Structure formats: structure tokens, C-alpha cells
């Protein structure tokens, strides 16, 4: 009985693992660089990607007619990528802030459907830059 039991338990566990493996299908989101987007041929229209970088200073443009519409330029060292976004932006989104965007690339412009800000100073301040000193 114990052997039979072990066999059943192991097969259930294996089944679970297969199930977990299958879950990746269509849910994976590659974290790429701007260079990858423009050079790699795996980039197909409609496939979602995730990119990180900084918001180029002065590049944030809000639409005159639609206050939700927004475009900015994502900066990764020398590489630049224009990004469009049509949702409320997080509180920490501003010039120069570090962001992560998720969305699709149509060959020249990145259409983000999700934008997150990453802020190192969120939990750890830097006293040297503090202006509370005299």
C-alpha cells in the first residue's frame, strides 16, 4: 500500500509541475533593452515586452485634447524610445524618474499599457543631498 501511495502522490506532484509549466504559455513577459527591440527579429507586433529606463528630461508631453494621453521618451544610456501611455500615471512619475513600462512595440513607437515607477529614494534617503542642513 505504501508504494502504491507513494506512486500516486508522486504522480499528483508531477501533474502539478506540468500544470505550472503550462502556465507560462502566453504569460511570459521578456525584459528587454531598446537595442533588443530594434535589432532582434523575435520582436513581433502584438507581443508584449517589458522595458526599464529613465524618463528623458523635458520629454513628457500631455495631449491638449485628452489629459490622459501622454507621451515621453524612454532613455537607456544612448538609446531612446518614444513611448505612448493612456492612463493615470503614478505619483512618482516625472522628468528623470526611473520607470518600467510594459506593452507592445509597433516598429517605431512603444505603446505601454502599464507604467510603474521605481524610486530608490522611496525607502532610503540620502543625507548628503539633504537640504535641511545649515
Partner 1 sequence: MPTYGAALLSLSLGLCFLTVVLMGLFVRKGDERYFFVGQRTCLTVCFLVVLATITLLAGLMKSDFNVDYVAKYTSIGTPTIYKFTALWAGQSGSLLFWLFVLSCYVAVVIVQNRNRHEKLMPYVIMTLSVIQGFFLLMVNFVANPFAPVETDFILQDGLGLNPLLQNPTMAIHPPMLYLGYVGFSVPFAFAIAALCSRQLDAVWVRSIRRWTLFTWLALGIGILLGGWWAYNELGWGGYWAWDPVENASFMPWLTGTAFIHSIIIQEKKNMLRVWNMILILVTFLLCIFGTFLTRSGIVSSVHSFTQSSLGPMFFGFVLLILAVSIYLVLSRLDDLKSGKRMESFVSRESGFLFNNVVFVSICFAVLWGTMFPIISEAVTGTQITVGAPFFNQITIPIGLLLLTLSGIGPLLAWRRTSRESLTRNFSIPVLIGLVMAGVVMIAGVRSIYPVMTVALTAFVTSTISTEFWRGITVRRRKFNESSLQALFRMISKNRSRYGGYIVHIGIVFMFVGFIGKAFDKDREWAMSVGDEVRIAGYDIRLTALDEEERSNHYAWIATLDVTKKGETVTSLQPEKRIYFHKNPNPDRRQPHSELSLHSTWREDVYSVFGGIDPEKELLTIKIMVNRLVRFVWLGGYVLLFGTVIALWPDRRGL
Q: What residue ranges bind partner 1 (CB under 8 A)?
A: 1-2, 5, 8-9, 12-13, 16-17, 19-20, 23-24, 27-32, 36, 50, 62, 66-68, 87-89, 91-92, 100, 102, 118, 120, 122-125, 127-128, 130-134
Q: What angle do CA 36, 41, 43 make, to 5 degrees?
A: 65
Strands 110-118 and 79-86: parallel
Question: Least separation, in Å, of the C-beta of 120 and partner 1?
Answer: 6
22 phi and psi angles, rounded to 5 deg? -65, -30
Nearer to partner 1 (CB atom), residue 19 or residue 108: 19
* Nearest-approach distance from CB 67 to partner 1, in angstroms: 4
Q: Which of 105, 112, 100, 89 is nearest to 46 (CA)?
A: 105
Q: How far is the CB of 78 from partner 1 (least distance, A)?
A: 20
Rg over CA atoms, the chain: 22
Amino acid at each position: 500500500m505504501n508504494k502504491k501511495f507513494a506512486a500516486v502522490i508522486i504522480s499528483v506532484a508531477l501533474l502539478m509541475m506540468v500544470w505550472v509549466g503550462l502556465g507560462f504559455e502566453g504569460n511570459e513577459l521578456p525584459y528587454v533593452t531598446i537595442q533588443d527591440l530594434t535589432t532582434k527579429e523575435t520582436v513581433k507586433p502584438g507581443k508584449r515586452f517589458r522595458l526599464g529606463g529613465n524618463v528623458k528630461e523635458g520629454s513628457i508631453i500631455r495631449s491638449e485634447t485628452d489629459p490622459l494621453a501622454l507621451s515621453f521618451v524612454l532613455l537607456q544610456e544612448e538609446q531612446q524610445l518614444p513611448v505612448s501611455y493612456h492612463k493615470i500615471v503614478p505619483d512618482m512619475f516625472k522628468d528623470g524618474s526611473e520607470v518600467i513600462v510594459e506593452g507592445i512595440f509597433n516598429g517605431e513607437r512603444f505603446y505601454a499599457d502599464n507604467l510603474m515607477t521605481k524610486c530608490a529614494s522611496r525607502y532610503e534617503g540620502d543625507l548628503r543631498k539633504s537640504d535641511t542642513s545649515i
